[in-house]
Structure 1
């Protein structure tokens, strides 16, 4: 069971997206969204310990492909489960600094370190399987 919560202001639309509602993200095109896989209880997922940021933009087929793979990877269980990971998706076209930094590099996946800084992760090949993507992300989040 998933929960979707939307908060809108004059400058930003925020969405809490579950794996089953990821399609919502591509239709509404919020400036940034938070994707958190939810277990059966919402309270167990309100304070994720691991965080990722995906820099993307509308119309980017590589970005859309990675979002789909991430959705599937977040839904997988097992030793590399990403249930406690919060993924924030940022539309670079809404921020000139992000656009300058990532316009030729998207999709860019970064992990948020404990001090709040971001570390860019190596690019994930679109040819990788979902299980391998899950394993690579889990390994990257385990390092700090």
Structure 2
């Protein structure tokens, strides 16, 4: 398993060839190229959505972003290939800053009705495979 994490982390070093990153207002959206190029029948409304609240200069946030990118590249039963990740800078919104200034990084899953459910805090020591499994489990609940 450790070799799979190492391979995934190595793949993150080449994000242009592996991950589509687009800037949309005050958020980043990471989506594996494999899911964006398969078919036009997969609509964003049917995919799972995850929000990461962070801010510039936060080393814990940057570490989690890197691990999330690597987790998106892993395949298997807990694949996150259909997850849209929005990274929200809390300094761009006073409401987010008040809510999360002492808590970042914060992960939340976005429900189809627009409500958010904050996920339990993940340890920064978590490996990529375990991170993937915990997020997949949160979406199954």
What's the TM-score, normalizing by structure 1?
A: 0.76
For 1:133 and 1:44, the matched residues in 2 are separated by 29
What is the number of residues matched between the two proteins?
121
What is the aligned counterpart of 2:32 among 10, 15, 37? Answer: 37
What is the aligned counterpart of 1:66 among 64, 89, 113? Answer: 64
SS of the residue corresponding to residue 103 of structure 2 reads: coil
Write 1 or 2 for the structure with the bigger share of helix: 2
Following TM superposition, the consecutive aligned residue runs of length 4 or more in structure 1 with deviations greater than 2 angstroms are 40-48
Q: 2:140 matched to which residue of 1?
A: 142
Structure 1, gaps ≥5 residues long: 1-18
What's the TM-score, normalizing by structure 2?
A: 0.77
Q: 1:9 matched to which residue of 2?
A: none
For 2:103 and 2:58, the matched residues in 1 are separated by 11
